[in-house]
Amino acid sequence: MTCDAIVNAAARVLSTEGIDRCSTNRIAEVAGVSIGSVYEYFENKQAIIDAVALRHLDRISSMFDNAIVVLGDNADLQTVVRVLVEAVIAAHGHDVRLHRSLSQEVPLSEHVLRKAEEFKHRTVLSIQRLLGDHLGTSDLSAQIVFDSVDSIVHRWARDCEHKPVPRERLSAELIRLLEGYLTYR
């Protein structure tokens, strides 16, 4: 309860006020608990930030896992690409401001970065399995598939407030990008 309130508060402060205003005292205040309680549940400030990041990563991770499970084993290229693009967009849409803060201004600890790396690795492996026939022999191709979509969506999410590009157009264009890449030559 209290523990969740603290993580929620930290996520909220990070999203809405940025890391500079995200002091332990502010977190406690927003969580509606005393600063002492914060340190009952977390060893230090970094541990709070890590908890926020891990929870966010978990949510994104399970969105992906679901999408991939839904695809099953025999989906055709078009379907795979579409589902993949939609999953990435959905994942970024989940909590845009928090996502931005976590990926741009917050210093994450090794532990969290490793977890994120593991997530990406798992996802790249899934892509390899799903698109194996269409990829070159190199494992770089699957990475390019993941990174191109992920990073473009990331920028779209970052900028979508002052430069609103409709989600459907983005989706269509990314699908074209991947289909082109995967069928070229």
Partner DNA sequence: GATGAATGAGCTTTCATTCAT
Partner DNA sequence: CATGAATGAAAGCTCATTCAT
Q: How many residues comprise the chain?
A: 185
d(C-alpha 89, C-alpha 151), whole Å = 11
**Which of DNA, a second copy, none does 73 bind, CB closer than 5 to 8 A by kind?**
none
Q: Which of 4, 66, 151, 161 binds a second copy (CB under 8 A)?
A: 151
Which residue among 7, 10, 33, 85 contacts DNA (CB under 7 A)?
33
By CB under 7 A, tell whether 26 contacts DNA.
yes
Write the CB contacts of 41 (distance below 8 Å, at least 6 apart in sequence).
2, 3, 6
Q: Among 8, 17, 37, 182, which residue sits at the site for DNA (rule: CB under 7 A)?
A: 37
| Choice from 17, 18, 45, 63 touching DNA (CB under 7 A) | 45
Task: Tell whether residue 25 is a contact of DNA (CB under 7 A).
Answer: yes
CB of 139 vs a second copy, minimal distance in Å: 10
Give Cβ neighbours of residue 122 (< 8 Å, ≥ 6 apart): none
- From the list 1, 137, 168, 183, which residue makes contact with DNA (rule: CB under 7 A)? 1
Q: Which does 151 bind (CB under 5 to 8 A by kind): a second copy, DNA, none?
A: a second copy
Cβ distance to DNA smaller for residue 1 or 69: 1
CB 157 within 8 A of CB 170: no
Instruction: Please identify which residue in 17, 39, 65, 181 interacts with DNA, judged by CB under 7 A.
Output: 39
According to DSSP H, which parts of the chain are helical? 2-17, 24-31, 35-41, 45-71, 77-93, 96-104, 110-131, 140-159, 167-183
> Rule CB under 8 A: which of 2-21 touch a second copy?
18-20
172/170 Cα distance (integer angstroms): 5
Task: Determine the angle formed by the axes of helices 77-93 and 96-104, rounding to 10 degrees.
Answer: 90
Q: Which residues bind DNA (CB under 7 A)?
A: 1-2, 20-26, 33-41, 44-46
